[in-house]
Structure 1
């Protein structure tokens, strides 16, 4: 039988399964209440009235503590899951650097890692919305938040979608157009490009006659 250990001031200092009170000096033992949860020991209090000891659990504080513990475990598990993909990311980055892989391979791993982060964030929100201690303590989560892979191209991949004539015309025009030159400079200093973010610039190239009407859609597709 689980016994709570009370000191001389009737403060609960621990618990034991040893019911031999005589073996303890300076303390006394009282039976733990039904449903006693050792993980919430700090939130139990003892009150003595007319020689009777009553043990109560501060439900609000216990629930808060249970949620904090649950969220901490979620964070730890998410960190382990992300760390387990480190080798995938390193492999994808090395393959891309060597010319054997692609940016898409890197993005696939990054998407996997982001799904873990977003799912763990959602799990913490769900855990904090619970109102029952037992439900909080038995809460489980999974990687269930869908994350779309980022749609991006390397600078080289993006430039390859233009014809040689188009690239030449754009560079010549940029020397006389500050706005266009700034767009080209930004492109030259970007490691990768999100096609959607390039849409306004490509549409401007169409309007300027530097690429044919409809080419913006072709380049982005």
Structure 2
């Protein structure tokens, strides 16, 4: 039977299964209450009244401690899941650098990793909303938050969607148009392009007559 070790000041200093512990000077043993959780020892207190010792658990501080511990575990679990995909990301990046892969392969792995992060964040919110200690300790989570893959193109992929004539017309016009030149310079310094962010610029090219009407949609499709 588990017993609590209580010192002369009525402070709980530990727990034991050894009755011989009672031989310590100034220490007495009191049976642990039903449902005693050694992991929450710091949140139990002893009160003596009329020669009887009553053991109580501070539910508020114990619940907060259990939540903090479970959320820390969730972070560790998420970190292990992400680390398990490191080889996928390295492979995708190396394949892309060698010309065997593409940006979509990298984005697929990044999406998988982001889903883990968002799912673990959501799990922590759920755990923190629980009001029962046992429920918090038993709480489990899974990677269940859907994350859409980022829609982006490499600079080369984006430029390949223009005809040679369109590219020549845009570069020639940029010399006389500061706004267009700034757009071209930004493109030249971008590793990748998000189609949604490129839409206004392409629409401006249509208005300027540098690409035919409807080409903006074709280029981004």
Matched, 1:81 2:113: no
Change (3 A) 1:22 1:126: closer
Q: Does the 8 Å contact 2:63/2:131 carry over to 1?
A: yes
Q: TM-score w.r.t. structure 1 length?
A: 0.98
Indicate the residue corresponding to 2:92 in structure 1.
92
Matched, 1:59 2:59: yes
Matched, 1:217 2:217: yes
Indicate the residue corresponding to 1:163 in structure 2.
163
Runs of 4+ in 1 over 4 A off after TM superposition: none
Alpha-carbon distance in structure 1 between the residues aligned to 2:160 and 2:98: 19
Matched residues, number: 221
Alpha-carbon distance in structure 2 between the residues aligned to 1:198 and 1:39: 56
Alignment of structure 1 residues 166-181 onto 2, 5 Å: 166-181=166-181
Alpha-carbon distance in structure 2 between the residues aligned to 1:36 and 1:105: 51
Segments of structure 1 that go 5 or more residues without pairing to the other structure are none
Q: Does the 8 Å contact 2:22/2:29 carry over to 1?
A: no
Q: TM-score w.r.t. structure 2 length?
A: 0.98
1:49 deviates by 1.0
Indicate the residue corresponding to 2:111 in structure 1.
111
| Aligned-residue CA RMSD (Å) | 0.9
Indicate the residue corresponding to 1:143 in structure 2.
143
Alpha-carbon distance in structure 2 between the residues aligned to 1:194 and 1:70: 38
1:7 deviates by 1.2
1:22 deviates by 4.1
Alpha-carbon distance in structure 1 between the residues aligned to 2:115 and 2:24: 53
Alpha-carbon distance in structure 1 between the residues aligned to 2:166 and 2:155: 16
